[in-house]
């Protein structure tokens, strides 16, 4: 374990960090040779192809040898065009334009800027509010923290944030009030959304949501009609719908994109993580034609453009990853092995401390409780999420555990987002290690 001599500005001064030196398949190895199943998919939901994929390594190296980047203010390049064509084929119908940058925060930030520009192009200067949801993470810049609803990350910087954005409740059926049916719960959320829109007529530019909420809720799957009903309100007011597919994209949930489970009501998709499987930093926005066309007709360029926007190295990597996802049938594999893993977890994690196991594809979560009957949360000062993350690590499994399942502040959960290459035997091994970790953590309470 190495911490105090590190040159890093450490993310957590109280944590000890093992040294990762190698990866192969679903495993990461530390310097002593110990293996860890990459149950979190690195940080997190990134490593769709697992570690050490030589096909991707070769594609990255080949493009680096040929042309890593070029003066993007003067050139465009064929590999970028080839990649975008492929990317848009992989996307749901209607997406016609793409743009790449370095990661998820930039993707979300650019998606919001694009929505704002879309309204400006239509002469709607007043459209500058974004509706986000509590218990959602959309990135670590000031704007993305602001529209996001992860209090643990945003509260430190609120003085730097514009105050026009709006937050509504997320949709997590397990946490609905005890007396409500699923239908009543969904009705209430739709009413809350409609009220937020009605309170700010002609001021809402965009609505942003993760189709399935990842790290902030532990694979929070909404009710089936929640997004279609919210989308109806957005359509009626021409509010741009941004699907944050940073975690849920590229097969993670068993469909190409997470929003495809819920009727694909997105005008812009923000993507990252699995888009490159972690082999290079990469993010993208994919845009529906009516948005792109409005911008074109306005004559304004898209005011984006950063050093690593639309560069050949990233495009070649993204293209190779997409080809590999399709060649190995990983979207289907995520659906099948994910369903198997969910079943196994439900059986093996029948423990007093486990409130719910949930998720879609290989995007699964476990929510912890003090009492399964009342769903009472564990006392926050016990920091159960930390205990469970550490105990799983000891058992040879990385998970992403967090607090904030309830009111963005309390309640413990963990997220599993392992490589999509895993098979049923890997799922069994992951289940064993997870059960060992959770049992060990529960024993410390």
Site of interaction with ligand PLP (CB under 6 A): 103-105, 108, 137-140, 210, 214-215, 244, 246-247, 272
| Closest CA relative to residue 129, chosen from 169, 172, 186, 168 | 168
CA 143, distance to chain mean position in Å, is: 17
Cβ at position 141, least distance to ligand PLP in Å = 8
Q: Tell me, what DSSP letter sits at residue 283?
A: E
Q: Using alpha carbons only, what angle is made at residue 38 by residues 36 and 43, rounded to the nearest 5 degrees?
A: 125
Cβ at position 111, least distance to ligand PLP in Å = 10
Residue (117 or 215) nearer to ligand PLP, CB: 215
Rounded Cα–Cα distance for residues 253 and 272 (Å): 15
- Count other Cβ atoms within 10 Å, centred on residue 3: 13
Residue (40 or 344) nearer to ligand PLP, CB: 40
Q: Which residue is nearest to ligand PLP (CB)?
A: 104
Residue with tokens 């105090």: 4
Rounded Cα–Cα distance for residues 251 and 87 (Å): 13
Rounded Cα–Cα distance for residues 369 and 354 (Å): 6
- Count other Cβ atoms within 10 Å, centred on residue 379: 11
Tokens of 377: 């949360």
Cβ at position 208, least distance to ligand PLP in Å = 9
Residue with tokens 């923000």: 270
Cβ at position 219, least distance to ligand PLP in Å = 12
Residue (272 or 353) nearer to ligand PLP, CB: 272
| Closest CA relative to residue 223, chosen from 251, 169, 262 | 262
Cβ at position 299, least distance to ligand PLP in Å = 31
**Phi and psi at residue 355, in whole multiples of 5°?**
-85, -50
CB-based contacts of 156, cutoff 8 Å, min separation 6: none
Residue (42 or 441) nearer to ligand PLP, CB: 42
Residue (108 or 295) nearer to ligand PLP, CB: 108
Cβ at position 210, least distance to ligand PLP in Å = 5
Residue (107 or 354) nearer to ligand PLP, CB: 107
Rounded Cα–Cα distance for residues 208 and 269 (Å): 10
| Closest CA relative to residue 108, chosen from 81, 80, 148 | 148
Rounded Cα–Cα distance for residues 225 and 236 (Å): 17
Residue (59 or 272) nearer to ligand PLP, CB: 272
Cβ at position 102, least distance to ligand PLP in Å = 8
Residue (139 or 396) nearer to ligand PLP, CB: 139
Residue (20 or 349) nearer to ligand PLP, CB: 20
| Closest CA relative to residue 48, chosen from 270, 256, 357, 262 | 256
Rounded Cα–Cα distance for residues 411 and 431 (Å): 22
**Phi and psi at residue 63, in whole multiples of 5°?**
-70, -35
Residue (253 or 431) nearer to ligand PLP, CB: 253
């Amino acid at each position: 374990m190495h911490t105090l001599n590190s040159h890093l500005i450490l993310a957590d001064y109280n944590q000890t960090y093992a040294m990762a030196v190698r990866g192969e398949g679903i495993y990461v190895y530390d310097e002593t040779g110990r293996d860890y199943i990459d149950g979190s998919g690195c940080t997190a939901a990134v490593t769709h192809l697992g570690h050490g994929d030589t096909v991707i390594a070769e594609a990255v190296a080949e493009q680096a040898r040929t042309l890593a980047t070029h003066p993007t203010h003067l050139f465009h390049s064929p590999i970028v065009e080839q990649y975008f064509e492929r990317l848009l084929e992989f996307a749901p119908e209607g997406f016609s334009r793409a743009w790449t940058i370095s990661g998820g925060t930039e993707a979300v930030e650019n998606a919001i800027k694009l929505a704002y520009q879309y309204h400006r192009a239509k002469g709607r200067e007043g459209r500058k509010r974004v509706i986000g949801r509590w218990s959602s993470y959309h990135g670590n810049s000031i704007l993305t923290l602001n529209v996001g609803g992860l209090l643990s990350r945003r509260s430190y910087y609120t003085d730097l944030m514009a105050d026009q954005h709006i937050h509504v409740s997320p949709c997590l059926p397990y946490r609905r009030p005890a007396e409500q049916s699923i239908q009543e719960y969904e009705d209430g959320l739709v009413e809350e959304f409609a009220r937020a829109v009605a309170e700010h007529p002609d001021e809402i530019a965009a609505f942003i949501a993760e189709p399935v909420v990842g790290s902030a809720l532990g694979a929070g799957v909404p009710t089936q009609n929640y997004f279609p009903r919210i989308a109806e309100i957005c359509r009626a007011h021409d509010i741009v719908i941004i699907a944050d597919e940073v975690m849920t994209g590229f097969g993670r949930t068993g469909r190409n994109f997470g929003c495809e489970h819920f009727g694909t009501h997105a005008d812009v998709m923000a993507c990252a993580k699995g888009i490159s499987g972690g082999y290079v930093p990469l993010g993208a926005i994919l845009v529906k034609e009516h948005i792109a066309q409005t911008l074109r007709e306005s004559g304004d360029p898209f005011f984006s453009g950063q050093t690593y926007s639309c560069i050949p190295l990233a495009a070649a990597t993204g293209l190779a990853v997409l080809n590999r996802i399709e060649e190995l049938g990983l979207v289907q594999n995520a659906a099948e092995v994910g369903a198997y893993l969910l079943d196994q977890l439900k059986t093996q994690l029948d423990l007093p401390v486990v409130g719910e196991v949930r998720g879609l594809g290989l995007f699964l979560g476990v929510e912890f409780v003090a009492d399964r009957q009342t769903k009472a949360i564990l006392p926050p000062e016990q920091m159960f999420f930390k205990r469970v993350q550490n105990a799983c690590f000891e058992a040879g499994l990385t998970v992403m555990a967090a607090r904030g399942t309830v009111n963005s502040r309390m309640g413990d959960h963990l997220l599993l987002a392992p490589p999509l290459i895993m098979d049923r035997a890997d799922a069994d091994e992951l289940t064993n290690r997870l059960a060992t970790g959770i049992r060990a953590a529960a024993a410390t309470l």
